[in-house]
Amino acid sequence: MSKVIRIHQYGGPEQMRLEALPAPHPGPDEVVIRQEAIGVNFIDIYFRTGLYKFPALPGTPGTEGVGVIEAVGSNVHTLQVGQRVAYAGVLGAYADRRAIAASRVVPVPPDIAPEIAAAALLRGMTAYCLLHDVRPLAAGETILVHSAAGGVGLFLCQWARHLGARVIGVVSSPAKAELARANGANEVLVGTDDLPARVRALTDGALVPVVYDATGRDNFIASLDCLAPRGLMVSYGNASGEVTDISASMLAARGSLYLTRPTLTTYVAQRIALETASGAVFEAIRAGVLKVVIGQTFTLDTAADAHIALASRATTGSTILVP
């Protein structure tokens, strides 16, 4: 048998139920993984609430995990039983065992612990794509990073600082400000009151060429007002709610701005892109460019508590589940 969190109805954390199901068997192109660590991300909350829809209900949340292969399908020849692998962006992670397409997993280097890989892969690949693919970051540029003490935010601060950028972080508390500073932020703003004015002061009136924002609705307009002419608004999350009622004239009036809503799934859809991004993350961890901060660990049967903590912004760094 396998332990699986399933959602039969969209709603609050109480909708997540731990159930016993028959152990999975691999399809011809799949592997079965005994999971060792599972990443918890805001996208899991989006699926639980119904902002994003499961293909069908009941559904199992979670898109990131690390584990050891227990069985391989008949068409799988590049992976083997006993090998540790990781994945990101594939629904169904909240389980102690799962079947998954072999094409969507990547080997975990032996010198990287499973907890570190689970805490880093999705967030790290997100940061990699934001800084290299969505808009290649140049040394000397100044960027604004919301949720700078969160899982992706810390990686953005670390990696951008390594690339030679000046990082202005935005956080919700003095404690989170200290964490952001310790992980690469040059300056940190606590709270979003008068955010454009404070950014203008820090940049001698120039504002910034790019804003990275995972909070969504609450900070969207203020973030637009932090951008220099022809700047790029990168809205990659909805922590405070979905951004709606956008008009093209809002971008025009602020200096011919650009807006993108990227998702990691799109950027690593091709196998070569997945290998490039995951390889960059593992190498950055090895090189000390990325320092993985696991702020919270929950067990699979307390996944609801993990969602409550994440939604209340009480977390720092990455959050993981252990089966």
pLDDT tens-digit series, residues 7-22: 999 999 999 999 999 9
- At 314 the pLDDT is 77
My answer on whether omega of the bond before 114 falls inside 30° of 0, hence cis, is no
Q: Which two tokens stand for residue 242?
A: 């979905």
- Flag whether pLDDT at 240 surpasses 80: no
Nearest residue to 41 (alpha-carbon basis) of 315, 310, 323: 310
**pLDDT band at residue 242 using 50, 70 and 90 as cut-offs:** confident
What span, in angstroms and rounded, lies between the C-alpha atoms of 27 and 180?
A: 44
The DSSP result for 118-165, as a single string, is HHHHHHHHHHHHIIIIIS---TT-EEEEESTTBHHHHHHHHHHHHTT-
Report the chain's mean pLDDT, rounded to a whole number: 95
Q: Specify whether the CB–CB gap between 185 and 169 falls below 8 A.
A: yes
| Per-residue pLDDT tens digits for 172-214 | 999 999 999 999 999 999 999 999 999 999 999 999 999 999 9
| Per-residue pLDDT tens digits for 72-102 | 999 999 999 999 999 999 999 999 999 999 9
- At 32 the pLDDT is 98
The DSSP result for 251-302, as a single string, is HHHTTS-EEE---HHHHT-SHHHHHHHHHHHHHHHHHTSS---EEEEEEGGG
- At 30 the pLDDT is 98
Percent of the chain at pLDDT exceeding 90 = 89
Burial (0-12, 13-18, 19+ Cβ within 10 Å), 193: exposed
The DSSP result for 65-102, as a single string, is EEEEEEEE-TT--S--TT-EEEEES-S--SBSEEEEEG
- Flag whether pLDDT at 148 surpasses 80: yes
HSE-up (13 A, CA, CB side) for residue 25: 3
Nearest-10 Cα torsion for 55, 58, 61, 64: -70
Nearest residue to 135 (alpha-carbon basis) of 156, 120, 118, 155: 156
Structural domains present in the chain: 2-121+271-322 (3.90.180.10), 139-261 (3.40.50.720)
- At 170 the pLDDT is 97
